[in-house]
Amino acid sequence: MFSKPKPALASVLLAVLALAGCASEPDPTTVTVVTHGSFAIPDDVVASFERDTGLTIDFVAAGESGSLVNELILTQDRPLGDAVYGIDLASASQAVNAGLFTVYVSDQSAAKDAAEYAIPDSGSLTAIDYSDVCINVDHRWFDDRGIPEPVTLDDLASGTYRGLLSVTNPATSATGLSFLLATVAAYGDNWDDYWADLRANDVRVVASWSDAYYTDFSGPSSGGSYPLVLSYASSPPFEVGDDGVAPTGALLDTCFRSVEYAGVLKGATNPEGAGKVIDWMLSDEFQAALPDSMYVYPVSTRVEVPEAWVRYAPLSDQPWTLDPTTIAHDRDDLLREWAEIVIG
Amino acid sequence: MTATTSSGSGRRSLSDDPVTRAIAQAHSPRVSRLGALALPIAFLGLFFLWPVGTLLWRGLSDGSGEAFTSGRTWTALGTTVTLALAGTVGSVLLGLGAAWALYRITWRGQAVARALVTVPFVLPTVVVAVAFGALLRPSGLLGFLGLDQGIVPIVAALVFFNVSVVTRIVGGTWASLDPGTTIAARTLGATRWQAFRHITLPALGPGLAAAAAIVFLFCSTSFGIVLILGGTRTNTLETEIWLEVKQFLDLRVAASLALLQVAIVALTLAVASWAQTHRERALRRTRVDGTRAATRSDLRLAVLVLAPTALLLGLPLVGLIERSMRTRSGWGFSNYAALLTTPERSNLPVPVWRAAVTSLEAATIAAIVAFSLGLLLAAAITRARRARILNAIAMLPLGVSSVIVGLGILVTLYRPLPGGLDLGDPRLLVPAAQAIVALPLVVRSLVPTLRSISPDLRAAASTLGASPRRVWWLVDWPLIRRPTGVALGLAFAVSLGEFGATSFVARPDHPTLPTAIYRLLSHPGIENVGTAFAACVLLAFITAAVMMVTERWRGKEVTEW
């Protein structure tokens, strides 16, 4: 009925049909890896996988981290890909219980190192990397005022540090969940008392990591007024200037160690290729690229971490951690109770 | 002044004549009408109704609607409505003044001001939240107000985002009002306010209702702003849906909440359509170029009405620019230089300019698709008997949570369909998701104008033997060329800034500008935050440029007549 818009419409329709028309058969030369939204690895590392295996690798991101498992569960009937990378400790058990994976055990030599972080009774997830979520401290803020820096979780709840700490809501932020788990690991059933103390000590709660770090933190890249914020053990090197001085640091007694896993998805069209992806992720090349590309520590003891990390991002000797089964069991209740205690 | 159409008032309308009507109907056969509708309905059906419906169905078939009995749900519903109402009232108040100052009167430099007002509309929520947060935090410029983490910052940010929607839609109507009646009233002794209250305001009614409805729907599904500026203490339906899906995987509750959202959409549209039909007659009057060069007193008034808008829009924008120029060694442009290279200490795999190109490509396709389909839909809505149902379907995407849309697409379209049909390509899904979000805006900006075209004109053309195509081409098209600029511009802008649904479908190695900004902001370091803010300024700049082009286009149309 319209004369003029027709050519435009026709071409749009054609374009849609052209794209839609690409019928896709199961393709044994392609392997699809589902990741979280912040996945990144250098091109040459990807290229060497493709060269060694003759496979083309295709990455798809299913939303931001924390929701990856939920999205995999929702798409279980027609999985989003062949392999998945980026399942974290907090949701690993839930993912395994949902029957998302087929068992795959890598024969790479780093597999021994990975086994140390394995989920109990399950060969379906392979640990690839880990990181410590810790309270970060602005050294200069405390130096300027001559106040000693806090050290332990207990210190954070003491009057000296009233109104100085900003953390994220565990329901809206994966970092926040890690910190909540650290307090559960440290205080057991009394974790709720600790949070009531933190609340009484004017802890600030924000929605996401970037709100805490980029709006609240008094460190150099934000200019806020909180000298203590929740971040990672790997954050301080980012703040080191040309003078080689680290203006911030991590409180190593407050850290929760989280692990990221990879697995072969049940219903994969190319399960064999998916296994090769897991092997590749344990390879020295991939493991060595992890710190600089995704700011996590490799599980493999065969590769070196960057010089700056050794100096400015030391890991906690005794990080808090929790058994994944316990986390899977308690998580929802913890989150609801936490909300009542802290922001209710 | 160029009068385009006129229908005498008081005279019996030609379209009431049964013969004319019969002739007109004979010339617009049902078949072609249905054909024109098939395309937009198929598009909406495939990329919106099917994914959303599938997800809702999965949720609801899980069990009974327990969510409705929970007190939390009703609190969230109350907060949603309160926030959306406050945001709408604020946007309408500021937007009305700005519409007059930016569209009714003319002055030098106006095009730039018009473009600037639209900028906030496309900025990614996460960045706006950081900018507002920086202003309101205890150490910030406005920290002394003590408004941090409360309702007020949320409403202010909602107005910040939506004031341009009111300005553009109402401004379009205002610019084409016949100033004759107002002048007459003023001559007869009415004050400026009286003339506005009794003549201009009723005439603006339909445009105002359309704009308010859109803003209300936008506000009621606002997510990041509520979560971030409310410090996670404020719960709306949208934040509850997000939590239930992301954290608790409780689809049943999420689906019930989403249905509540749909109910809000329906109610909003009912109110808007009541306001519109109530005022419909007001618009069926002479449509002219009613703009005039600003007088000195106009300018004074313009400064007065634009001041609060400028302050609200300006402060966060200035804060944003300031942040984009902060570097490790003081102030500078190194963050802008960094847009050209792949960031070193971030997990963004491509340079920001590449993400900008991806965004521009997707938004161009999305705008064209949304505009073409929106035009067909708007034309159908104007004429169809079941216009309300069509209208409601076209508006749904504004009122449905982007989490639900994104997840729905994941569940239905991401992998090849059983027949081997593969719609999972991000080159298709990203613009499709954006077009879905932009479509309601296009429809809303076109419908009031299409409605205002007197059926007499079409009937007359038909009677004289014009085919339906010719009727459309000779009567409708010349009148809608102007709002076309608005519609295309808005569609492009909203596609460019879309984050919610896009974040589900964009591949990690092909980020769009907003998803790239989000990723930059998810790692520490002054370079990352600086580059993120520079990217934001780039996004704002592209938007402003596009807006100015569509403005210019619009300007030319007026002189052509």
Cβ-count burial A282-309 (b if 16+ within 10 Å, e if not): bbebbbbbbbbbbbbbbbbeebebeebb
Q: Mutate which of B235, B347, B430 to disrupt the A interface (most A C-beta within 10 Å)?
A: B347
How much of chain B exceeds pLDDT 70, in percent? 85
Q: State how beta strands A83-88 and A165-168 pair.
A: unpaired
* Residue B385 belongs to some domain of the structure: no
Q: pLDDT per residue over B238-252, tens digit each?
A: 888 888 887 788 888
**A221 pLDDT tier (thresholds 50, 70, 90):** confident
* Residue B185 belongs to some domain of the structure: yes
CA distance A59 to B520: 19
CA distance B294 to B304: 14
B413 near B426, Cβ under 8 Å? no
Q: Is the CB of A37 less than 8 angstroms away from the CB of B515?
A: yes
**B277 pLDDT tier (thresholds 50, 70, 90):** low
- The structure tokens 């809608």 sit at B480
B228 near B238, Cβ under 8 Å? no
The ipTM of this complex is 0.80
Total number of domains constituting chain B? 1
Given a cut of 50, is residue B7 above it in pLDDT?
no
A206 near B232, Cβ under 8 Å? yes
Domain with B299 in it: what CATH number? Answer: 1.10.3720.10
CA distance A140 to A144: 6
Long-range contacts of B387-392, Cβ-Cβ distance < 8 Å, separation of 24 or more: B388/B269, B388/B273, B390/B37, B391/B269, B391/B273, B391/B443, B391/B447, B392/B265, B392/B266, B392/B269
Given a cut of 70, is residue B212 above it in pLDDT?
yes
* Residue B433 belongs to some domain of the structure: no
Interface check for A17 against chain B (CB to CB < 8 A): the answer is no
Q: What is the reported pLDDT for A299?
A: 95
Given a cut of 50, is residue B405 above it in pLDDT?
yes
Those of residues 370-429 in B touching chain A at CB distance below 8 A are: 372, 375-376, 379, 406-407, 410-411, 414-416, 420-423, 425, 427-428
Interface check for A14 against chain B (CB to CB < 8 A): the answer is no
B229 near B128, Cβ under 8 Å? no
Q: Is the CB of A208 less than 8 angstroms away from the CB of B126?
A: yes
In a 3-state reduction of DSSP, which class is residue A217? strand
Mean pLDDT score across all residues of chain B: 80
Residue B238 structural domain: 73-318
Q: What is the reported pLDDT for B417?
A: 67
What domains appear along chain A, each with residue ranges and CATH number?
A: 27-130+257-312 (3.40.190.10), 132-256+316-342 (3.40.190.10)
B365 CB contacts (<8 Å, ≥6 apart)? A15, B431, B435
Q: What is the pTM of this model?
A: 0.82
Q: pLDDT per residue over B436-487, tens digit each?
A: 988 988 887 787 677 777 777 778 888 888 888 888 788 777 777 767 777 8
- The angle formed by the CA atoms of residues B118, B124 and B125, to the nearest 5 degrees, is 105
Given a cut of 80, is residue A285 above it in pLDDT?
yes
Contact list, A344 vs chain B (CB under 8 Å): none
Q: Is the CB of B427 less than 8 angstroms away from the CB of A224?
A: no
B168 CB contacts (<8 Å, ≥6 apart)? B99, B118, B445, B486, B489, B490
Residues in chain A: 344
Judged by phi (left if over 0) then psi (alpha if -120 to 50, else beta), residue B10 lies in: left
Q: Is the CB of B473 less than 8 angstroms away from the CB of A80?
A: no
A72 near A267, Cβ under 8 Å? no
A334 CB contacts (<8 Å, ≥6 apart)? A170, A180, A184
B103 near B294, Cβ under 8 Å? no
Numbers of helices and strands, H then E, in chain A = 14, 11
* Residue B443 belongs to some domain of the structure: no
Contact list, A38 vs chain B (CB under 8 Å): 347, 508, 519, 522-523
CA distance A262 to B543: 40
